[in-house]
């Protein structure tokens, strides 16, 4: 029988988000429990398996605290500032063993869901990526776990847990965060309208005006470029885990419109933390 807390969480968060957060944390824990060596390197990162797991444990705890209404300063909201804060926090946290870290990741994901219960979904909270409500914060938590869960799966040569359903639940955070991770040096002087459509559903629009990005779930009128992309590829590309060139070569992304050449440039306009 479903608990009252479970019923309340589903009343606050979009359908499927609570289950996706819980399941993703458990998937990551299962990966870690089967890890032969947490000192192994993670492809594409300077961190080891144990360091990625420790970072996830810390991040889940921080987001649970934020969801409970307790403000935590973590960097200055920029990708560089967050990265520097991550390194400092990781250096101060000594646990690297798989079992204890797996337990913390699961427990703190559950703590976020507990904190979301009974609190207003639309209350504005201050997060490492700026102000957002509890729904977007839950999407942020899920997105963060998916990115590093993918890292751990690659390092341990196991299947990853990123799928189309979870990407759809990550999209609210991605739309909220994109203006905050726009690379001003790359977008300087850019004026362009993009329509981005995910295969199977999900869409958003990005309009650059003199390099400043405005992002929303509605598509712009008369876009200069329309991008159609497979959802898992979209998330991995957005998080810097997938090469745009490779994705296009594999037929996972297409661009067309009045200015189709703008398509391949789009990923370079953003810098993931």
The single residue listed with the structure tokens 């479903």 is 2
Residues 6+ apart with CB under 8 A from 234: 167, 196, 198, 253
Q: Which residues of the chain have pLDDT under 70?
A: 1-11
Q: What is the pLDDT of residue 21?
A: 98
| 150 conformational bin, left if phi > 0, alpha if psi -120 to 50, beta if neither | alpha
Q: Which CATH class is domain 182-269?
A: alpha beta
| Rounded (5°) CA angle 23-29-35 | 145
Q: Which CATH class is domain 4-178?
A: mainly alpha
Q: What is the pLDDT of residue 118?
A: 77
User: Quick one: how far is CA 33 from the chain centroid?
Assistant: 23
HSE, CB side, 13 Å, CA atoms: give it for residue 67.
29
Contact 166, 41 (CB under 8 A): no
CATH 1.20.120.450 residue ranges of the chain are 4-178
Contact 263, 225 (CB under 8 A): yes
DSSP character for 123?
-
Q: What is the pLDDT of residue 4?
A: 40
DSSP character for 269?
G
CATH 3.30.1050.10 residue ranges of the chain are 182-269
Sign of CA dihedral 183, 168, 235, 201: negative
Q: What is the pLDDT of residue 177?
A: 94
Q: What is the pLDDT of residue 119?
A: 86
Residues 6+ apart with CB under 8 A from 261: 225
Alpha-carbon distance of 96 to 54, in angstroms, equals 6
Burial of residue 203, with CB atoms counted within 10 A of its CB: 0-12 exposed, 13-18 middle, 19 or more buried: middle
Alpha-carbon distance of 59 to 194, in angstroms, equals 32
Contact 17, 142 (CB under 8 A): yes
For residue 229, count other CB atoms closer than 10 A to its CB: 24
Pairing of strands 225-229, 192-198: parallel
User: Quick one: how far is CA 248 from the chain centroid?
Assistant: 22
């Amino acid at each position: 029988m479903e608990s009252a807390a479970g019923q309340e969480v589903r009343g606050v968060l979009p359908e499927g988000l609570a289950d996706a957060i819980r399941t993703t944390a458990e998937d990551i824990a299962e990966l870690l429990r089967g890890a032969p060596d947490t000192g192994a390197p993670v492809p594409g990162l300077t961190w080891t398996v144990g360091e990625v797991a420790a970072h996830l444990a810390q991040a889940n705890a921080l987001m649970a605290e934020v969801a409970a209404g307790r403000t935590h300063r973590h960097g200055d909201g920029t990708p560089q500032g967050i990265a520097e804060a991550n390194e400092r926090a990781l250096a101060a946290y000594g646990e690297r063993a798989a079992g204890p870290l797996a337990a913390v990741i699961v427990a703190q994901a559950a703590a976020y869901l507990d904190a979301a219960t009974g609190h207003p979904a639309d209350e504005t909270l201050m997060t490492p990526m700026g102000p957002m409500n509890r729904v977007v914060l839950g999407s942020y938590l899920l997105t963060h776990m998916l990115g590093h869960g993918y890292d751990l799966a690659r390092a341990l040569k196991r299947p990853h847990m990123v799928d189309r359903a979870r990407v759809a639940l990550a999209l609210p955070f991605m739309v909220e965060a994109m203006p905050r991770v726009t690379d001003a040096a790359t977008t300087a002087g850019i004026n362009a309208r993009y329509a981005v459509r995910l295969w199977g559903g999900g869409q958003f629009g990005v309009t650059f005006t003199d390099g400043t990005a405005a992002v929303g779930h509605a598509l712009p009128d008369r876009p200069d470029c329309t991008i159609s992309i497979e959802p898992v590829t979209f998330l991995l590309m957005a998080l810097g885990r997938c090469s745009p060139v490779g994705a296009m070569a594999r037929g996972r992304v297409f661009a067309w419109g009045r200015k189709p050449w703008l398509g391949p440039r789009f990923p370079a306009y953003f810098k993931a933390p």
